[in-house]
Structure 1
Amino acid sequence: MKKIIVSLSIALLTLSSCSDYIEEENLSYAENTEYLKASGFESLINANYSQLREIYGGEPWLFVAGTDLYAEGRNTEPIGVSQYTQLTSSSPNVDYLYKECYKAIQRANTAIYYSALTEKTATLNSRIGEIKFLRANAYFLLVQTYGGVTLDTEYHLSPVVSFNRNSAEEVYTFIIKELEESLSLLPTGAYTGRVTKRASQDLLAKVYLTRAYEKFGAAGDFATAAKYADDAIAGETLTLTYAALWLPTKVAADINKETIFSAQFSAASNTSPAQTTGGLPGTQITGNGQASYFSSYLGGSEVSGKAPYRTYNLLPTDYAIGLYEKGDTRWEGTFMTQTYTRYYDYYDVANKTGLAVTHFYVPKWMTDAELATYKLANPKTTIHLYGTYGAAKGLSSDYQTIPVRKFDDPIAPFATSATSPRTSTRDFVISRLGETYLVAAEAYLHTNPSTGLDRLNEVRRRAGVANATAGQFTIDYILDERAREMLGEYTRWFDLKRTGKLIERASLYNYNIKASNFDGANGEKKILRPIPQEALDLNQNKSYPQNPAYN
C-alpha cells in the first residue's frame, strides 16, 4: 500500500498558485536543516495546522452545495458542483479539496520525515500523533469526495512524475491505521487548539461510520464507530445552551467545553498589518469565509460596520427552514429572525428596548393572532411570511431570505466581494460534542437502536424539544436532526453521500436539482466528484482511472 506516488504533477497542481506557501514554509525538494532544531520542527508543525485554514476557511462548495439544505439565490453558484448538470473533471471548484488536502499531506509527510531526525523533546511524540491525525483527516476528505486517490506517505527529495491510484478500501485502511496509531501518542485533557486523543477518537468514529456504508466495509464497522463516538463523548452531557455555542466574542476565540477540534484564525495571521475594520479593496484577506455564506445580501460597503457581507448564495431552502418546531432553541440560535437598523446591534446592545426592527421572519408556528399583535408593536417592520424567505424565493432584494447568524463576526472587516469574502477571525469548528452524539446515534441505529435513540435525544434535550420516539428513529430522522443541529456547518454533502440519500434528498428539496441531473456516463451516477483534469494531465501515468460517471 505504501508507494512512492506523490509526484511532480501533484506538486505542480497543489503549488503552482501558491508561491508564498513555497517561500514561507520552504517545503521544496531539499533538506532543511532548520527542521533538525526543536524550534524549526515546531514551526513545521505549526505550518501543518495553518493548512487547515485553507481547507476549511475558503470555498464551501464541495462541503455543502448541491444538497437539500442550501440552494442558489441571486448570485450564481458553480453549476457543476452545485447542480450536477455540467459536472466534469474541468468544472470550476471541483479541484479545491484535491489541491488543499494534498498540500496538507505534503506538509505532513515532511513533518513525519523530520520527526526521526529532529531534536528529541518532551512533546515530540504528541507532535507525531498530531501530524498523523492531520494527514488522516486530509485523506478522509479526499476519499469521501473523490473515492480512491493516490496514497503517499513519503517525503520526496526529488520529484516523481508518475503515480498510481489506490482503491478507496486501501485509503480507508490507511486512515484507520494512522488514527489508531495516533491514540497512544496524543495527550488527553481539555482542547486548547492542538489535536487531542479525543479528537482522534471522534474522527475514528466518523471514519468507521462512513466505511460501514461502503461495499468493502467490515461487519463490525457500525459497532466500532459507536464505541469510538462514546469514547469521545466520555460521559459528558451537552451543558452549554445552543446560543452560547455560537455567540461571538470580542476576541477571536471559539473554543468552549464542547469544541473537540477547530481550525484557528486570528487577525494577525489573517490580514496584512495595514488591514483595519472596514477593509480596503485589494487588501489580501486570508481569514475564515464561513460567515459570508448562507444568507441574502445585507447591503454594500457603505454599511460597513452596520451589517456583515453576504454572498447571496447557499441560501437555506424551504425544507431546511421548515425542519424547526416551536420551542427549538436552535431556531433563534441559527437564524437572525429579526434585524435592526444596525444588524450588529443584536450583539452590541444589551437592552434592545426602543431599537427599530427592520425585518422579521415569521416562523411557521406563529398564529395569525400572534402575528397581528407583532405588527401592531412594530408597524414599520418589513414582515417576511413563512414560506416566502427560502432560497427559491429570495432572488431580488436585500434581506429577502433569512440570514444564518451562527457564524457572525461583528469585529471582522467588511468583505470587498464574493471573490474575497474571507474576513472573519472566528475559528472554524471542525468537530464538536453535539455532532459526536449524532454520530453515535447513527452508528447505534444499526446495532442498538435503543441506545442510539438515547444519544439523539441528548441533542434534542439541549434544544428544548420533546424526545424522539422509537418509531421516529430512522436514518431520515437522524439526517433531519443533523440539519437542525448543524445547519451551515461543512458536513451536509458528506452526510447525504454517506447514507445514500444524496440523489433522493437533493432532488426533492433543492429547486435547481432533478434526479436526472446525477446521470453520468455509462449508466453511472455522479455521486463522487471527478478527479480533477489538471491532475490527470500532469500525470505521466496515462492509465490513471477517472471516476466512472465522468469517462
Structure 2
Amino acid sequence: MKKILSIFAIGLILVNTGCADFLEEDNRSNVTAEEFYATEEGYAALINSNYSALRNIYGKAPWMFMSGTDLYEEGRSPEPQGLSKYTQLTSSSDGVDFLYTNSYKAIQLANTAIYYADQTVQTPNISQYVGEVRFLRANAYFLLVQSYGGVGIITDFIAEPILSFDRSSAEEVYSLIVSELELALNEVSAGDYTGRVNKRAVENLLAKVHLTRAYEDFAASDDFAKAASYAEKAIAGQGLNLTSEEIWTPGNDMNEEVIFSVQFSAGSISANPSEIGNQQQNYNGPYLGGSEVAGNAPYKTYNLLPTRFALDLFEETDERWYSTFMTEMYVRYYDYYDVEDHSSLTVRDFYEPRWFTAQDSIAYVAANPTTIYHPYGTTDPVGGIISGDRATMIVKKFDDPKSLFASSGDGSSTRDFIISRLAETYLVAAEAYLGLGEVAKGLEKLNVVRQRAGVADATTADFDLDYILDERARELIGENHRWFDLKRTGKLVERASAYNSWITPANFQGAGGNLKILRPIPQAALDLNQNKDFPQNPAYD
C-alpha cells in the first residue's frame, strides 16, 4: 500500500507556471499529497517543482562539470581534490555524489508527476506536462550515465525508501533516455521557448544524446546520423543573429538563441536573496574583495581559473575574447554594466592579451599610468597558484550587477542558467557530420559559429575532433560542458594531462590498471544498498 504523506513532508520547492517566481507557501498541513496533487493547482505545483530541481543541479557548485579538464585549473581556493586532480578520487571523495544525489531527486520528482498524471483532475495541459517531465527525467539520467556509467533505473513512483536495487547497464540507460525523449517529442508544446520544455529543446537533447552514445562501444549504427538530423531540426534554419556580447548581456537571458535554461528571478529567491540564487557568477574569477565591496563587485571564489591553454585559444579579432573576459576592470567593477559611457571611468586592472606587442604594452601603460597592468602569462596558474586579489583573468559572461554580495557557498544571482543555446547546437551538428565523414557539411556548421565571432573560416585541413573541441572551448567556456565534452570524445586523459599543470596521465591510473574516466558510485549509495552485488566502477574497486 502506498504511504500517504502530508504536503509538507514532500518538501518540494514550488514555483509558478512560468518557472521563475516562488508560490507563496500555503498552510496545507491537513492535506495529503494525494489530495493536493489531485487538484489542478496542486498538480501544476508538482510540475513546477520538477523545474525547480534543475536549480540544484546547475545553479550550484560546478565541480563535476568543469574540474579536472584542459580549460580550468585550481586557484587560490581549493576545489574538491579528487575531481580536480584524480589521484585522490575515491567513492568517498568530496563532491562525487553531487550529480548522483541531485539527479535521483529530480528523477523521483518526475516519477511522482507521471504517476499522478492519471489521478489528478484532467485538464488540456496534462499530456504536455507529462512530456515536459519525461524530458527532465531523461536529462537527469543523461547526466548520470555520462558521469557514472550504468546506474539503477527507477521509473515508478516510490513512496517508501528503496533498500535494494540493481544496476542497469549504460546501454540500457541510454535506451531509456532515447525512448523517453521520443515520447516527449509528441507531447510537449511546439511553440516558442518561454521557460518550459518545448519540442525544440527535446530535439536538441536528442541530438546531444545520440552524439554522445555514438562514441560508445554499444552505439547504434545511426547515432551520428540521428545526432545530425535532430541538430538540424533544432537549428531549424535559424542563424546566429546576436553578437556574443548581446547573448551575455544581463537582462537578456531569454534571448532568441536560448534553447533551454534554468529560470531564476528576484521573486523566486526573495525568501533568502543572499543565499538561494544562481551561483554561476561566483566560480569564474579571482577574489575581488570582501563584503566591503558589496554593491560594487560580485563575490568570486578564486576556484576555477582559465588555463594558459584556454587563454591561448583566442585571437585578436575573436569577439568572444571581449565578451568572455573582463579585460579592463574599473574601480567599481559593476560600472562596466551600469555606466553607458566608459570613457570617463578609471581602469583599475588591465589584463594583457596574447597578441599585445611590446609597443602595445608601452602605449597602454603610458595612457593609463594608474592602472595595474597584468602581463600575459602572469594571469594563469601554470605550475602553481597565483595569489593576490584580482590577479587572474575574470570570466564575466555570467555577472549579475543586480545581485547581492554573497560569499562562500551562497548565491544571489537572479540570472538564468543557460543549459543549451543555438551556437552549441551548430557545434553538435558539426561534430555529428564529422563522425559521418561528411566533412563539408560539418565545416559549414562550425564556420557559422566562427563567422559570428569575427574570425576566419576553418579549412578542411583544420577540421578534426580536436579543432571542434577547441571551438567548443572558445564558444562555451564556463558553461558547464567541458568535462562531458572530453569524456564523450575520449579526450579526457590526453587533453587534461597536456594542458592542466596539476594533472599527468598517471593521475588517472586506478585499480586493476583501469582509468578513472567514469566517476565512482558514491560510497553512501553503496552502503545503503542491501544488494551487495551492486558493482562499483572498475577503477575504484
Q: The TM-score by the shorter chain falls in which range? A: over 0.9
Specify the alignment match of 2:475 in structure 1: 485
- Per the alignment, residue 437 of structure 1 pairs with 426
Whole-Å Cα distance in 1 between the matches of residues 351 and 160 of structure 2? 59
Residue 348 (structure 1) aligns with? 338
Q: Matched residue of 1:429: which SS?
A: strand
Whether the 8 Å contact between 1:294 and 1:488 is mirrored in structure 2 is yes
Q: Which moved more, 1:214-223 or 1:158-167?
A: 158-167
Partner of 1:473: 463
Structure 1 residue aligned with 2:22: none
| Offset at residue 189 of structure 1 (A) | 2.1
Picking from 112, 115, 138, the partner of 1:113 is 115
Residues 162-190 of structure 1, C-alpha deviation per residue, up to 9 Å, x if partnerless? 10000000000000000001101111121
Q: Which residue of 2 aligns with 1:508?
A: 498
Query: Deviations along 1:460-489, whole A, 9 cap, x unmatched?
Result: 010011100000000000000000000000
Structure 2 CA distance for aligned equivalents of residues 31 and 336 of structure 1: 49
Which residue does the alignment assign to 2:19? none
Q: Residue 323 of structure 2 aligns with which residue?
A: 333
Distance 1:233 1:322 in 2: 30
Identity %: 57
- CA shift, 1:321, in A, is 0.5
Contact 1:291 1:407 in 2 (8 A): yes
**What is the TM-score when the length of structure 2 is the normalising length?**
0.93
Deviation at 1:391, TM superposition (A): 2.8
Deviation string 1:428-454 (CA, Å, 9 cap, x unpaired) is 000100000000000000111110000
Q: Say whether 1:405 aligns with 2:396.
A: yes
Partner of 2:528: 538
- Give secondary structure in 2 for the equivalent of 1:438: helix
SS in 1 for 2:373: strand
SS at match of 1:231: helix
Q: Secondary structure at the match of 1:431?
A: strand
Question: Deviation at 1:370?
Answer: 2.0
1:369 maps to 2:348 = no
Asked if the contact 2:13/2:49 (under 8 Å) is kept, the reply is no
* Alpha carbons 1:336, 1:405 under 8 Å: kept: yes
Q: How much has 1:160 moved relative to structure 2?
A: 3.0
1:228-307 alignment runs, 5 A limit:
228-249=230-251, 254-272=253-271, 275=273, 279=274, 285-307=275-297
Q: Tell me how far apart the structure 2 counterparts of residues 107 and 92 of structure 1 sit (CA, whole Å).
A: 25
Residues 60-112 of structure 1 deviation map (CA, whole Å, 9 limit, x = unaligned): 00000000000001111110011001100000100000000000000000000
Aligned AA (1:183): L
Tell me which amino acid in the other structure corresponds to 2:347: V
Partner amino acid, structure 1, of 2:225: A
Which residue does the alignment assign to 1:177?
Answer: 179
* Residue in structure 2 matched with residue 380 of structure 1 by the alignment: 370
Aligned to 1:187: 189
Which of 407, 424, 428 is the equivalent residue of 1:416? 407
Task: State the secondary structure of the residue aligned to 1:247.
Answer: coil
Q: Does 1:428 align with 2:427?
A: no
- Tell me which amino acid in the other structure corresponds to 1:436: T
Q: Does the residue aligned with 1:71 lie in a helix, a strand or coil?
A: strand
For 2:329 and 2:443, the matched residues in 1 are separated by: 36
DSSP 3-state at the match of 1:32: helix
Aligned to 1:513, what secondary structure does the other structure show? coil
CA contact (8 A) 1:522 1:548 kept: yes
Distance 1:462 1:21, change over 3 A: farther
Residue of structure 1 in register with 2:90 after alignment:
88
Do residues 101 (structure 1) and 98 (structure 2) align? no
For residue 344 of structure 2, give the secondary structure of its aligned residue in structure 1: coil
Contact persistence 1:363–1:386 (CA under 8 A)? yes
Structure 1 length as normaliser, TM-score? 0.92
Give the whole-Å Cα distance in 1 for the aligned partners of 2:363 and 2:13.
Answer: 60
Change (3 A) 1:118 1:400: same
Correspondence 1:146 to 2:148: yes
Shift of 1:157: 3.6
Find the aligned partners of 2:88 and 2:12 in 1 and give their Cα distance: 37
| 1:20, distance to aligned residue in structure 2 (A) | 8.0
Give 3-state SS (helix, strand or coil) of 1:353's partner: helix
Q: 1:57 aligns with which of 56, 59, 69?
A: 59
Given that 1:438 and 1:455 are in contact with CA atoms closer than 8 Å, whether structure 2 keeps it comes out as yes
* Compared CA separation, residues 415 and 21, structure 1 to 2 (3 A): farther
**Aligned residue pairs, count:** 518
Q: Distance in 2 between matches of 1:24 and 1:401?
A: 37
User: Which of 509, 512, 535 in structure 2 is aligned with 1:519?
Assistant: 509
- Give, as a single letter, the amino acid of the residue that structure 1 aligns with 2:133: I
Tell whether the 8 Å contact from 1:70 to 1:391 is kept in structure 2 after alignment.
Answer: no
Displacement of 1:122 in angstroms is 1.5
Q: Which stretches in structure 1 are left out of the alignment for 5+ residues?
A: 1-7, 9-18, 280-284
Tell me the CA shift for residue 271 of structure 1: 4.1
Structure 2 Cα separation of the partners of residues 236 and 114 of structure 1:
38
Task: Give the residue type in structure 2 aligned to 1:45.
Answer: I
Contact 2:284/2:305 (CA < 8 Å) preserved in 1?
Answer: yes
Calculate the aligned-residue CA RMSD, in Å.
1.6
Secondary structure of 2:267's partner? helix
Residue matched to 2:215 = 213
- Whether the aligned pair in 2 keeps the contact of 1:361 and 1:385 (CA below 8 Å) is yes
* SS of alignment partner, residue 262 of structure 1: strand
For 1:205-232, what per-residue CA distance to the aligned partner results, in whole angstroms no more than 9, with x for missing partners? 0000000000000111101100000000
1:527 & 1:372 partners in 2: Cα distance?
46
Q: CA deviation at 1:394?
A: 5.4
